[in-house]
Amino acid sequence: MAPWLAFCVLAFAAVGLGGWCLPSRESRLAKCVWAVLCGIVFQAMLGTFAAASGCSFPRVFWGLTLLGGLGLPFSIWQISKSSDCSEKRKLAWFHVVLAFVFVDALAFGSWAISNTPLSSEDGIFHWSGRARYLFGDVNWSWDRADENYLGLATWNRHYPLLIPVWRAVLAGGSAAWTEVAARADGLVYYAAFIGSVWSLGRRLSASPFWAAAAAIACACQPLLTWHVQAGNADLATAAFLSAAVNALVRERWVVAGMCASGAVLTKNEGLLVYLPAMLLGLSVGQLKTDHFERKPMLLFLIGLLPVVPWLLFRLFNRFQLSPSGEKVGFQSDAILPFLEGFWLNPTSYCLWVFILISVLATGARLWAVQGGKELLSILLSSLGALGFVFVWTEASKWLQGDITLQRILMQLSGLGIVAACSGWSLLGSSLRPAQKENLEGESEQTAAVKPLE
Amino acid sequence: MECRRLAACVNRLLLLWMCIIPLPLAAETLDHALVQITVEEPLEFQRQAAIAWKTAGSDETHIKRVWLEDGINVYEMRGTPGWTGELAKIQLVAPPALKTQLELVEPTFEREQAIAFRNQPWMPSNVNHLPEMFVGGGFTLHLLSGLLLVLLGLIGRFGFRLNWPKSVGLAFVATMLLIQARFVVDRWTSASRLRAGDDVVYLYDEISRFGDAAAPMVAGQPWTMVEVDRFRKYGLFYELAESPYVTKLSDAEFVISTKNFPAEARARVGKIALYPVEK
């Protein structure tokens, strides 16, 4: 019971820490997700500095709890004080379906964490393994000359530390390493991911049905449900990425930068693929006919400040981006397996084929609404970057005997599903603009969907 | 009109996709073969087993974990990492008392059906070695999900007179929900069985036992050589994570010493094997 209690305390402390960067007038759902994710970024940063300076993890845990506890009333006030006009509380059948799928995944994840051991190789070796070395203060050193520098003699020193540090802090709360410390954060990231997809859908879709449809479809991916309890970092990356794009689309630049920091500090895909894609998406969105808006870019870069110490650390240590090497060269053998990752993806069935066809069929409509440009730019440039990484670099070896591509596609699935659903919704609403939708619970076009001026 | 043309285009693309998706072929190579395991005695519960194989020209042993039921079990192997090229060796790792027979078979309609609709129990396992649940009926279900999407879209459009986008959206959600429904049922069925104390052995438990065994080895007791795969090697490190290690990367040797047993032992670490070799 104590590990679960510590988990709840640390999660609420994250909300307390993340509350200060919330905008005042915004959707409550989006604010909840941003608060917890930004809070986790702060906790991991402070935890890393504290651990590197020799503080024990129980102390770090209680220190972060105190900080979060102090900020929690302000965060709750900030989250509850206002909402945007799209938040009409009307329960419809699709909300019930979404609730069922969502609760099922969380319930099963909780059950699996409580009753089964950590069994994912990456969880064992990278994420929870390094966290456990860090927590136990053995097989780990902050001294560059030590053999155990950043974890027991592994080739994964260049992996970011957000997940291992947060798990070690959580273990500090119950003063022992447990399965809860190793894996329970998946529950938070799952909730944040689905919440972000729903919120993003509400912003871009023409009706609440399509937003819920995106969230339902996203929650129905078998691989995603598995990741809730797996102890890997892919779900966390997906949550940070979708929350960052949601903030970009809602023009909350600093929060977008903070969430993008989370993605960079979670996995190297964040730095290699998603951060450049977000910078491109932001630039495309700010390109006006006669000028380029600089202020959003500046605010986004301010939000990215938490990654600066990590980037300097990487530079100091000369870390590479990928364990497979950074040599660039066209790998003709990789094209077919790469395309098969979309085509014959056993982890999501026909999902990516549907997304790609939908984007082709409806992308023009989505491009014309506020935020649609950013979403499509980020999605397509991320897919392009993945194509480059898997077909032009030695990462192509991960296409054989591994499901790395499928896991990365899972990280991007939220954006893809929202793009598909929003596109269809806009196409549908343009058919009969004056007519009310047939589906129960649907209203006139959401106020948030504004055509570009 | 524009929308109709777009919808027709999308529909044609979907149909094209359905036509060119690789359909099951004869088992001329390993890539298209299925594995059939016949259990020749009644089983009270489903039992875990593993299909282990090596391909020609590769040292790596691939393992796919499966569940056994009474009678004939057919397993999807296509798309499983390592299931390609020429087979060198294949073996079933099952409870020793169980009488089983393993054979490679060609895909037929009946076998595809058996794969698609058999229960896919959830099991704690390693995501990088695609557990069966992700293949989950494999190509057949993949094909079915696409067909279902098209069929439901057509029903929405022509049966309920919805516009094309709405038909597509509802068909998409319904398809994803049906896929998920299958996994929800399978997961909770597995969970209830695990809770009931079913005879389930995890690979992880084997790691734990190996980890427990490693400590007395280090203390100087005699040991036998134990070969473990990459996953177990990592698992061993995880099990003993809070005990100190000293490493020598140059010759790929790990010196293990534990808090309880100060003596040292050397364990040689190869690409896929870790075994104690000297005290």
Kindly state whether residue A350 falls inside one of the protein's structural domains.
Answer: no
Gap between the Cα atoms of B131 and B63, Å rounded? 9
Cβ–Cβ gap A120/B126 under 8 Å: yes
Q: How many angstroms away from the CA of A220 is the closest CA of chain B?
A: 5
Gap between the Cα atoms of B8 and B10, Å rounded? 5
Q: How many other C-beta atoms lie within 10 A of the C-beta of residue B24? A: 18
Ranges A179-193, A391-405, B121-135: which has the least confidence: B121-135
A433–B contact, CB cutoff 8 A: no
Cβ–Cβ gap A217/B129 under 8 Å: no
User: Bigger pLDDT: B237 or B102?
Assistant: B102
Task: Indicate if the pLDDT at residue A344 is higher than 80.
Answer: no
Kindly state whether residue A420 falls inside one of the protein's structural domains.
Answer: no
Q: Which residues sit opposite B104 in a β-bridge?
A: B35
B157 chain-A contacts, CB cut-off 8 A: none
CA angle B63, B65, B71 (to 5 degrees): 125
Task: Provide the mean pLDDT of chain A.
Answer: 86
Name the residue facing A349 among B9, B145, B173 (closest C-beta).
B145
Kindly state whether residue A172 falls inside one of the protein's structural domains.
Answer: yes
User: Bigger pLDDT: B8 or A361?
Assistant: A361
Q: How many angstroms away from the CA of B134 is the closest CA of chain A?
A: 5
Name the residue facing A424 among B168, B195, B237 (closest C-beta).
B168
Q: pLDDT digits over B252-279, tens only?
A: 445 444 444 334 444 544 433 444 444 3
Q: How many other C-beta atoms lie within 10 A of the C-beta of residue A378? A: 28
Mean pLDDT of the region A333-362: 81
pLDDT of residue A301: 95
CA angle A223, A224, A227 (to 5 degrees): 90
Name the residue facing A361 among B6, B134, B254 (closest C-beta).
B6
Name the residue facing B138 among A210, A222, A346 (closest C-beta).
A346
Burial B179-188 (b: 16+ CB within 10 A, else e): bbebbbebbe
| Number of separate domains in chain A | 1
User: Bigger pLDDT: A308 or A224?
Assistant: A308
Question: Do A75 and A15 touch, CB atoms closer than 8 A?
Answer: yes
Cβ–Cβ gap B234/A104 under 8 Å: no
Q: How many angstroms away from the CA of B59 is the closest CA of chain A?
A: 14
pLDDT of residue A339: 83
B82 chain-A contacts, CB cut-off 8 A: 401
ipTM above 0.85, yes or no: no
Cβ–Cβ gap B134/A347 under 8 Å: yes
Cβ–Cβ gap A346/B135 under 8 Å: yes
Residue of A nearest to B124 (CA): A119
Gap between the Cα atoms of A12 and B240, Å rounded? 32
A223–B contact, CB cutoff 8 A: yes
Kindly state whether residue A423 falls inside one of the protein's structural domains.
Answer: no
pLDDT of residue A38: 95
A416 chain-B contacts, CB cut-off 8 A: none
Kindly state whether residue A406 falls inside one of the protein's structural domains.
Answer: no
Interface of A with B in 155-214 (CB under 8 A): 177, 209-210, 213
pLDDT of residue B60: 73
User: Bigger pLDDT: A88 or B15?
Assistant: A88
Cβ–Cβ gap A223/B177 under 8 Å: no
Task: Indicate if the pLDDT at residue A447 is higher than 50.
Answer: no
Cβ–Cβ gap B183/A357 under 8 Å: no
Kindly state whether residue A151 falls inside one of the protein's structural domains.
Answer: yes
The three-class DSSP label of residue B41 is: coil
A360 chain-B contacts, CB cut-off 8 A: 13
The three-class DSSP label of residue B57 is: coil
Task: Indicate if the pLDDT at residue A323 is higher than 80.
Answer: no
Residue type, A224: L
Q: Predicted confidence band at B126 (pLDDT cuts at 50, 70, 90)?
A: very low
Q: Predicted confidence band at B56 (pLDDT cuts at 50, 70, 90)?
A: confident
Task: Indicate if the pLDDT at residue A14 is higher than 90.
Answer: yes
Task: Indicate if the pLDDT at residue A304 is higher than 50.
Answer: yes
Task: Indicate if the pLDDT at residue A422 is higher than 50.
Answer: yes
Task: Indicate if the pLDDT at residue A441 is higher than 50.
Answer: no
Mean pLDDT of the region B57-86: 77
Gap between the Cα atoms of A19 and A344, Å rounded? 42
A122–B contact, CB cutoff 8 A: yes
A230 chain-B contacts, CB cut-off 8 A: 127
Q: How many other C-beta atoms lie within 10 A of the C-beta of residue A336? A: 11
> Residue A305 belongs to what domain range?
3-79+95-328
Residue A234 CB contacts under 8 Å (≥ 6 apart), including other chains: A227, A267, A407, A408, A410, A411
Task: Provide the mean pLDDT of chain B.
Answer: 65
Interface of A with B in 393-432 (CB under 8 A): 400-403, 407, 420-421, 424-425, 427-428, 430-432
User: Which residue of B150, B166, B260 to mutate against A (max A Cβ within 10 Å)?
Assistant: B166
Q: pLDDT digits over A190-249, tens only?
A: 999 999 999 999 999 888 899 999 999 999 887 888 889 888 999 999 999 999 999 999
pLDDT of residue A383: 94
Q: pLDDT digits over B214-245, tens only?
A: 555 544 444 444 445 555 567 667 777 776 66
pLDDT of residue B279: 39
pLDDT of residue B264: 44
Q: How many other C-beta atoms lie within 10 A of the C-beta of residue A312? A: 10
Cβ–Cβ gap A216/B139 under 8 Å: no
Q: pLDDT digits over A248-294, tens only?
A: 999 999 999 999 999 999 998 899 899 999 999 999 988 877 777 88
Starting at the edge strand that comes first in sequence, how are the strands of the sheet with B47-55 ordered? B62-68, B47-55, B87-93
pLDDT of residue A325: 63
Residue type, B77: M
User: Which residue of A100, A190, A348, A349 to mutate against B (max B Cβ within 10 Å)?
Assistant: A349
Name the residue facing A217 among B81, B163, B176 (closest C-beta).
B176
Cβ–Cβ gap B163/A357 under 8 Å: no
Name the residue facing B204 among A117, A226, A354 (closest C-beta).
A117
Residue A307 CB contacts under 8 Å (≥ 6 apart), including other chains: A261, A264, A265, A271
Q: List Cα–Cα distances, A400 to A38, A337, A340, A390, A410, in angstroms.
A: 36, 8, 11, 11, 18
CB pairs under 8 A between A and B: 202
Gap between the Cα atoms of B243 and B234, Å rounded? 14
Question: Do A18 and A40 touch, CB atoms closer than 8 A?
Answer: yes
Residue of A nearest to B81 (CA): A401
Cβ–Cβ gap B245/A148 under 8 Å: yes
Ranges A51-65, B34-48, B146-160, B183-197: which has the least confidence: B183-197
pLDDT of residue A297: 92
Gap between the Cα atoms of A229 and B190, Å rounded? 15
Q: How many angstroms away from the CA of A317 is the closest CA of chain B?
A: 18
Q: pLDDT digits over B166-190, tens only?
A: 888 889 999 888 878 877 877 777 6
Kindly state whether residue A401 falls inside one of the protein's structural domains.
Answer: no
